[in-house]
Amino acid sequence: MKKSSHLQAVSKKPEGQPTRGKTASNRLRRVDNFILLYEPSLLTRTDDRFADALFVDLGYGFDPRTTLESAARFRRLNPNLKILGVEIDKERVEAALPFADEKTFFRLGGFNLPLLEGESVRLIRAFNVLRQYEEKDFAPAYERLAHYILPGGLMIEGTSNPFGSIWAANAARKMEDGSWKMEALVFSTNFRLGFDVEEFQTILPKNLIHRVVPGEAIYDFFEAWKRAAAETAAAKAYGARQWFGAAAQSLARRGYKVNLQKKWLSKGWLIWERD
Ligand SMILES: C[S@@+](CC[C@H](N)C(=O)[O-])C[C@H]1O[C@@H](n2cnc3c(N)ncnc32)[C@H](O)[C@@H]1O
């Protein structure tokens, strides 16, 4: 592809709106590490149409550092993985093009992904993108993006703080019948900020952040998590990590389907599995 053609949307006008492009080195490292632990086969599978399927990083920001960092991490597992960085801002595509190669692409696009004929998608990561939209834009964006994902593929969409030390994300699965479902709501902390349930409220994905009000399921979840944290506060003496794990156990006892495997809790991931 010639440089000029990367800067024209591959098909139609990009859907969405340009937003602030702030990013930071290694901001999304824990998102990548989560994917590597949650479902490494997402990156390696070659069945059906997955052989050449892309990992899409939607809205990589003013430069493609997080896309390139993910490329390095994911290609340790699958050296042939094809990666597409998508930006709605022309200058940001231009900034990224010097880093393109035969398996790393950068294109101008929006929620209507700029795919070439025959291309398919195994995984979409969209981080700190929808937070700058309105809540009403959330569902159409998900519908549009999910359309491109192969059955069995995943989208992880969420919000982090500036350095990625805490984040929250939806994991949405594309189903065999072409529909998609919310599989999990994932909370992540590297414990640098200690453990404070309320911190997670401030970085909820767009579909939830305005919904922490009585009568909403996410409100009940946070109330239960706060009570669980209060009830297990003695564990704080052993550190934030232990407290986080103890609170998760208590949350599960309250009937929430949280994954209690040590590999998640000890590393600061709380996975609320949705039905
Ligand atoms: C805050 S930056 C996030 C950068 C990086 N993902 C991160 O988390 O550090 C958000 C970027 O998303 C881009 N963006 C917003 N809406 C978009 C859309 N519909 N399609 C593609 N990019 C979009 C903006 O242009 C901006 O550069």
Going from N- to C-terminal start, the domains of the chain cover 21-194, 211-269
Q: What is the pLDDT of residue 18?
A: 86
Ligand 1 neighbourhood includes 89 CB (under 6 angstroms): yes
Gap from CA of 12 to ligand 1 centroid (Å): 18
C-beta of residue 172 within 8 angstroms of C-beta of residue 157 = yes
Ligand 1 neighbourhood includes 206 CB (under 6 angstroms): no
C-beta of residue 132 within 8 angstroms of C-beta of residue 112 = no
Ligand 1 neighbourhood includes 70 CB (under 6 angstroms): no
Nearest CA among 160, 190, 186 for reference residue 171: 186
Closest-lying ligand 1 atom to the alpha carbon of residue 141: 19
Q: What is the pLDDT of residue 12?
A: 80
Ligand 1 neighbourhood includes 60 CB (under 6 angstroms): yes
- The residue to mutate among 129, 160, 188, having the most atoms of ligand 1 within 8 angstroms of its beta carbon, is 129
What average pLDDT values come out for the chain (275 residues) when binned by 10 residues?
A: 56 88 96 98 94 97 98 98 98 97 98 97 98 97 98 98 98 97 98 97 98 98 98 97 98 98 98 92
Gap from CA of 59 to ligand 1 centroid (Å): 3
- Partners of 110 in the beta sheet? none
C-beta of residue 172 within 8 angstroms of C-beta of residue 121 = no
Gap from CA of 228 to ligand 1 centroid (Å): 35
Question: E strands along the chain, which residues?
Answer: 54-58, 82-87, 104-108, 121-127, 149-160, 166-174, 180-189, 269-273
Ligand 1 neighbourhood includes 138 CB (under 6 angstroms): no
Ligand 1 neighbourhood includes 170 CB (under 6 angstroms): no
Q: Whose CA is nearest to atom 5 of ligand 1?
A: 60
Q: Name the DSSP letter for residue 135.
A: G
Gap from CA of 132 to ligand 1 centroid (Å): 9
Distance from C-alpha of 131 to C-alpha of 135, rounded to nearest angstrom: 9
Would you put residue 150 in left (φ > 0), alpha (ψ -120 to 50) or beta?
A: beta
Quick one: fold of 21-194? Rossmann fold (3.40.50)
Gap from CA of 258 to ligand 1 centroid (Å): 30
Q: What is the pLDDT of residue 275?
A: 74
Gap from CA of 163 to ligand 1 centroid (Å): 16
